[in-house]
Amino acid sequence: MAKPTAKPRWVFGYGSLMWNPGFATPETQAARLQGWHRAFCIYSEHYRGTPETPGLMLGLLPGGSCRGLAHRLPAAAYDDVRRYLIHREIDNDGVYVETVRPIRLDDGRVVPSLVYLADRTHRQFAGKLPEAETLRLIRQGHGATGSSLDYVMNTVAHLGELGLNDRALERLARAAGSGAGPSSR
């Protein structure tokens, strides 16, 4: 009988992990995480901003569902990739909590996956901000890996490539990119 493994073999990407996983993955599929939704709810003081001029990053908050990409972790480099993910998602800004949740892959399989949720007790947790403040932070944020605006645009572009619509995120990207204020819709 095969020994059961507690090691999750997938990681769910809903922001930059979609287009820049940072490791060679043997398989990538579109996937859905039920019970959580994508939200700009984290002040970024490292990757997309600084302590003096924070940007915003996405996190996962309870409720709804989230479409993104699932990357299968390479078996031969599993421990190295896990260390990399912990460094990337937890050690720098420190605003994510790693957990394992079931995700549904586009081929119909339901698999356990590493998922990085927003730590709602962390000092950089912004929660739901008014749209004007969200836009201000997205426009001002520049950090170690680029701007918050580029992060928004890349997320929208990659969701579009998957044929996924996130109307609220698309509207936010248009407003942030145009310099316009909050929309009246």
* DSSP letter for each residue of 39-93: EEEEEESSSS--SSS-EEEEEEEEEEEEEEEEEEPPSTTHHHHHHHHHIIIIISS
Q: Which of 65, 62, 82 has its CA nearest to residue 74?
A: 82
98 is catalytic: no
Catalytic entry in 27, 45, 89, 161: 89
N-to-C CA span, the chain? 58
| Tokens linked to 91 | 């050690």
Pairing relation of β-strands 28-44 and 96-105?
antiparallel
Q: Which residues are catalytic?
A: 89
